[in-house]
Amino acid sequence: MISIDLDRASTLHLLRTYLSIPQAFSVVTGRRLIDPYAVYHSPSGVGFHIKIQATVSVEQNLKIRALLWDHAERLVYALKKWALNPDEAYVDLCFDEKNDGLERSINMQDILQPFQRQISQALQFLQSGKSEKAEPIVHKVANSIDPAVQGGKRKQFVGCIAFKGDQLREWLEEICIKISAKDATFKWRVYPCFFPEFDWMLCVFTDNEKLAWQRITWLKNRAQRDEKLILKDANTRLWVKERIAT
């Protein structure tokens, strides 16, 4: 099996990938794809999985996934596994359950049925190397099918705290590690922040918008180290938004 993990909740990105599968498979393997492939909402609620029921070599698997915009970190991990063990067979791991969620099937064939003429035209352009002519068609179809594709999506939210200073980052990481050790539902990461007045942002992930606010406001008002509140009087910015990428 070949699995593609798309890390954006974008119907346009999904459709581009979906339509590119036959050509990518043919370019890498030199044969026509006759095996079925299925589409799912990823279990995290962000992005999509595509699973192709075809048997290929490890090298071909990696090349096809790269051509189809598979998640970059996932590809690097698979390449490392293969480099460490040339006989490694399991370089294509795709979780069907994650964060208490399951994959949800998307019937792309039914969704695309009313647009068969446009899809055929776009595929002809893609196969002849005229992707610039296929792109407007793909955009138009993606906009039309977006409600149907996104309808079964599991919503995810991210609560963010922007702050300044490496010392504060270390303290917050210590606190979050302790919380997640006691509560498996507490998912978090720290990223660089591109607001000019801040250095970092702590992101807390959940499928409940209210809970995202509760968790970041608790950290703002109650997070302590050595019996001192570390964020209460610090310059911060807090917000919650729907998560659209991993």
Task: Quote the longest CA-to-CA distance of the chain.
Answer: 67
| One domain, residues 135 and 57 | yes
Torsion angle (degrees, nearest 10) of CA 191, 192, 194, 197: 110
CB 236 within 8 A of CB 162: yes
Please tell me the distance from the alpha carbon of residue 59 to that of residue 174, in angstroms, as a whole number: 40
| One domain, residues 188 and 100 | no
| One domain, residues 83 and 102 | yes
The CATH number linked to 188 is: 3.30.70.100
Residue 7 has pLDDT above 60, yes or no: yes
| One domain, residues 143 and 163 | no
Give Cα separations from 243 to 71, 147, 219 (angstroms).
Answer: 17, 17, 20
Q: How confident is the model at residue 246 (pLDDT cuts 50, 70, 90)?
A: low
Please tell me the distance from the alpha carbon of residue 203 to that of residue 216, in angstroms, as a whole number: 8
Strand-pair category, 97-98 with 48-52: unpaired
Please tell me the distance from the alpha carbon of residue 151 to that of residue 79, in angstroms, as a whole number: 34
Q: Strand runs (DSSP E) across 53-100, as ranges?
A: 97-98
Listed residues 150, 177, 200: the one ending a domain: 150
| One domain, residues 123 and 174 | no
The number of folded domains in the chain is 2
| One domain, residues 124 and 208 | no
pLDDT at 132: 92
At 76 the three-state DSSP class reads helix
pLDDT tens for 35-64 read 889 999 988 778 899 999 999 999 999 999
| One domain, residues 89 and 32 | yes
- The vertex-151 CA angle with 146 and 156, nearest 5°, equals 105
Residue 205: Cβ-neighbour burial (10 angstroms; 0-12, 13-18, 19+): buried
pLDDT tens for 170-226 read 999 999 999 999 998 999 999 999 999 999 999 999 989 999 999 999 999 999 988
| One domain, residues 95 and 207 | no
Q: For residue 221, what are its two tokens?
A: 């008002």
Listed residues 150, 171, 204: the one ending a domain: 150
| One domain, residues 107 and 217 | no
At 211 the three-state DSSP class reads helix
Residue 3 has pLDDT above 70, yes or no: yes
Give the domain range for residue 168.
Answer: 157-242
pLDDT tens for 108-148 read 999 999 999 999 999 999 888 898 999 999 999 999 999 99
DSSP secondary structure of 10-28: -HHHHHHHHHHHHHHHHHH
Listed residues 150, 180, 203: the one ending a domain: 150
| One domain, residues 183 and 129 | no
pLDDT tens for 75-97 read 999 999 999 998 888 888 877 66
Q: For residue 33, what are its two tokens?
A: 């794809």
| One domain, residues 15 and 133 | yes
Residue 99 has pLDDT above 60, yes or no: no
pLDDT at 114: 96
Q: Considering only CA atoms, which of 79, 97, 113 is closest in space to residue 40?
A: 97
Residue 188: beta bridge partners?
Answer: 204
